[in-house]
Amino acid sequence: MQEALSMIYLWLKAGHIIFVVFWLAGLLMLPRQMIYMHPAAPGSDEEALWAKRTGLLRKIILTPSLVVVWVLGIALAFTLGAWDQGWLHAKLLLVVLMTAYHGVMVGKARKMARGDRPLSERQLRMWGEAPGILLALIVVLVVVKPF
């Protein structure tokens, strides 16, 4: 029985890591695509092309990966019995922040697709750094388990 649980844990962990990579890749790509859309004239073919690309990124990579990351992450926490560990609470807070970032950026990308420019190119470049910073903090919490 213990061996079966160990195998399940390893498969959950592998899937979680794989989909975290997909999600993070999408979160890093989205602001870059928005930067490319920024100078396009509202209503132009170029804007429509970038809007289509950001929509596909959301539908094919971002949202499905987000869902799988959460499902597998919660399954892992249950498998580990880690709910009483401080590092997990801190990690969950950061993952909630990354999920909020995901929602904010998707919302801003939708506004851009309608011709609005809610953020400047400089602001998009700065916002584009957030997933990498959050990822670094999450990895430290999971690997080092400082508390």
Task: List pLDDT tens digits, range 22-46.
Answer: 999 999 999 999 999 999 999 999 9
Task: Please check if 102 is assigned to a binding site.
Answer: no
pLDDT at 1: 65
pLDDT at 3: 80
pLDDT at 6: 79
Task: Please check if 59 is assigned to a binding site.
Answer: no
Q: CA-CA-CA-CA torsion for 97, 29, 129, 67, nearest 10 degrees?
A: 20
pLDDT of 5 > 80? The answer is no
Q: In the chain, where does DSSP find H-type helix?
A: 2-37, 45-56, 63-80, 86-113, 121-127, 130-144
In this prediction, residues 78-96 reach a mean pLDDT of 95
Distance CA 10, CA 15 (A): 9
DSSP state letter for 81: T
pLDDT at 147: 92
Encoded tokens for 118:
């809610």
Task: Determine the straight-line distance between the first and last CA of the chain, rounded to whole angstroms.
Answer: 30
pTM score: 0.93
